[in-house]
Amino acid sequence: MKNIFIFSLILFNTFLYSQSDPYSLQERFRFGKYLFDSGDFLRAYEELNYYSTNDTARLLAAVSLSELGRFSESNDRLRSLSFNSDLSQISRFMLYKNAWFSDDNYFLQNNRSTLYFPKTYSDSVQSLANMYNLLRRKNLSDSEKFLTPFAKNYKDTIRGFYNSVVYPKAKNPVKAAWLSTIIPGAGKIYTEDYGDGITAFLFVGVLTYLAVDNFNADHDFRGYLFSALSAYFYAGNIYGSYSSAQIFNMKYRTSIDNDIKKFLESVNYFQPDLW
C-alpha cells in the first residue's frame, strides 16, 4: 500500500510539471512580471525580453531598461510599440519620461508631432515639461497657466513649489555685507546664521575694546596689536556675511529642488498606469 501511494505521488508531480513548464514563454512572462513588480529590473528585462510577441512584455522590458538608465535601448523598444499597438499611447508617454531623465530638453519641450505625442496623456507630458522648467528656473509662465495640466489633487503642492522658485526666500549678499559693515555680525543674523553673528559681534567688540583700553593706558604696542586683530576680524566678518548669504541661497535652492524631486518620485513622474 505504501509503495502504491509513493508511485501515485510521483505520477501526480510529473503531471503537474508537464502542465507547468517553468521554461515556457508564459511562465517566463509571469516570472518576469514578478521580478518587475519586485523592482529587480535587470532580471525582469532578461526574462521579459524573450516574449517578443506580447506587447505588455515588450513594454515592461522597455520600462525595465529605462529604470536601469539604458534610455537609448528603452526608446528603441518603445518606438516599436508606438504604432499599431494597444499600448501605443503609454509607450509614447514613456518616450517623454525617458527624455526627462536623459535631459533631452528638445524632445520634451518641442516634439509635439503626431508621430510620438500621446494625446491621451497630453496633460502628463505637459506636467513633466513644466516640472523640468521649474527645476531649471526657465520658461516659467504665470502661475495659473503653469498649473493648468496638473491633476487637481496636486495643484496646491505644486503651487507651493512654483512660488518658492519664482519668489524665493533669498538673501542679498551685498545687503549682508553692508549690515556687517555697520554692525559686526549683523549680516550673519540677516542670513539666519545666528551663532556666527553673535560670535562676530562679541569678538570684534572685545578686540576693539582691548585696543582702545591699551592706547588709553599708553601700551601702544598692545594697542596696535589688538587694533590689527580687530581690523582683521572686522574685514573677515564682512566677507563672511557676504558668503553666508550665498550659502543660504544655495542651501535654499537645494532644499526646494530635493522637495520637488521627492514629490516627483512619489507620483512616479505622472506616469499613467501600465495596465
Name the residue with higher pLDDT: 274 or 185.
Answer: 185
Q: Residue 13 above 60 pLDDT? A: no
Mean pLDDT of 223-247: 91
Helices (H), 68-140: 71-80, 88-101, 105-110, 122-136
**Residue 70 grid cell:** 539604458
8 A C-beta contact, residue 160 and residue 147: no
Cβ neighbours for 154, distance < 8 A, ≥ 6 positions apart: 267
Mean pLDDT of 219-244: 90
Cβ neighbours for 243, distance < 8 A, ≥ 6 positions apart: 173
Q: How confident is the model at residue 27 (pLDDT cuts 50, 70, 90)?
A: confident
Q: Residue 14 above 60 pLDDT? A: no
- Position of cell 507630458? 125
Q: Is residue 186 part of a domain?
A: yes
Q: Is residue 217 part of a domain?
A: yes
Q: How confident is the model at residue 15 (pLDDT cuts 50, 70, 90)?
A: very low
> Whole-angstrom distance between the N-terminal and C-terminal Cα of the chain?
51
Residues of the chain above pLDDT 70, percent: 88
Q: Is residue 181 part of a domain?
A: yes
Q: How confident is the model at residue 67 (pLDDT cuts 50, 70, 90)?
A: very high
Q: How confident is the model at residue 218 (pLDDT cuts 50, 70, 90)?
A: confident
Mean pLDDT of 49-77: 90
pLDDT at residue 68, as a whole number: 94
8 A C-beta contact, residue 188 and residue 180: yes
Name the residue with higher pLDDT: 23 or 189.
Answer: 189
pLDDT at residue 163, as a whole number: 94
The string of pLDDT tens digits covering residues 151-200 is: 999 999 999 999 999 999 899 999 999 999 999 999 999 999 999 999 98
pLDDT at residue 179, as a whole number: 94
List C-alpha distances in Å: 98 to 63, 66, 104, 243. Answer: 9, 7, 8, 38
Mean pLDDT of 129-155: 90
Find the domain containing 239 and state its range. Answer: 173-260
8 A C-beta contact, residue 190 and residue 171: yes
Q: Residue 12 above 60 pLDDT? A: no
Q: Residue 86 above 90 pLDDT? A: no
| Count: domains in the chain | 1
3-state secondary structure of 271: coil
Distance of alpha carbon 171 from alpha carbon 190, whole angstroms: 8
Q: Residue 9 above 80 pLDDT? A: no
Nearest to 29 by CA among 14, 12, 50, 2: 50
Long-range contacts of 106-114 (CB under 8 A, 24+ apart): 108/132, 109/139
Give the dihedral sign, CA 59/61/66/67. positive
| Angle at alpha carbon of residue 220, lines to 215 and 225, rounded to 5° | 95
Residues of the chain above pLDDT 90, percent: 56
Distance of alpha carbon 176 from alpha carbon 190, whole angstroms: 7
